[in-house]
Chains A and B, each alone.
Chain A
Amino acid sequence: MCLAVPGRVISIDGNMGIIEVGNLKRNVFLHLTPDVSVDDYVLVHAGCAISEIDEVEANITLKLLKELAESEICR
């Protein structure tokens, strides 16, 4: 019930911004992510940024996945 896509913030004008998803740009509401800056990533649902994407957390997750992928399976 919540199709949402990560997009990079290209510009901010008050409560509105332009985000880029896969080379496409779109106007979005930024009211729900007031602390966001240009070049940050946000999750966009129906024309509104609903959350900032925490790159640090994303990298932690990816690191764990990488370790799992490289480890032996214990049977």
Chain B
Amino acid sequence: MSIAVRNVVKKFGNFTALDDVSLDVPHGSLVALLGPSGSGKTTLLRIIAGLEGPDGGSVLYHDEDVTHRSPRDRNVGFVFQHYALFRHMTVFENVAFGLRVRRAPKSQVDSRVRELLHLVRLDGFAGRYPPQLSGGQRQRVALARALAVEPGVLLLDEPFGALDAKVRQELRQWLRRFHDEIKVTTLFVTHDQEEAFEVADRVVVMHNGRIEQQGTPQEVFDHPANAFVMDFLGNVNVFQGRIQDGKMHLGNIEMACPEYTNGEARAATAYIRPHELDIDRSPSVASSLRAKVLQINPNGSVAKVRLASEEAALELNVEINLDRYAELGLQPGDLVHVAPRRFRVFFPEDYSI
């Protein structure tokens, strides 16, 4: 079942949680709603589920308007951030709940619950109570419970938020494979961009109750629509400068910026990702920034180098691959030259927090 959200507005008192949000989730896809806390992503999810009503706009399931339909008639599976398992029921009864309230015959309930517990790898746990389970197990019970009623849409609110790093990593990959098996249209909320990029087919970046950008993880990461998206999706070095006649001036250095040929000088901000900066012993490129190495942290496949540039009066984060790192033989205190390979320019008025 595909989901469409049309011009949804939601206010809590004076606070606008969702400001004219429109969104399409294609059938069978796995989509991440990504944003900082307070961006409205959970509110949007709850409106799609019918747990909140929008103040304006509509929600469509497969071209059918369900805006005023109660959650019980929407056939959604919702997994809550803190699982919300029924604490007085066993794992079996938790999973069976949706079928029992629909008065499904007992034999059907039995076989369906067994199937689901097998699917989420909790075969031996039917008789346990929620307090007797670990976080990851509770999460999977919540998932099985939501799937028991064969929902057309699966909605997950921060599904991995309350888990520790290792379990989270495992469950992420598991969810991806799981989705590939069951093919239910799935929408999940997260504030962790790494999680969104790893799991989802499409990423929807939200900020201040609006959708800033949506697309595949690759599109969003490579072509951020604005400064917020750029900033939110991982580390970035921010340079304040001026732009004039197709050239960006950052302190003493000058970078070609052919898109802006206007003769009038204008304040601009350049965003450069750590891996888009190169370090050199000598000023190999015409315009490079002199900087002093503060700290080096070889981390997995890259070395993270922190530098201070006195000319630009800022700290830089650079990531270089380990071969390059070995070649340079960097030591803290070394004076080096830093030059950008790529950068993106946004004008300050585009970006306000």
- Tell whether A and B belong to one assembly: no
Interface residues of A (CB under 8 A from B): none
Interface residues of B (CB under 8 A from A): none
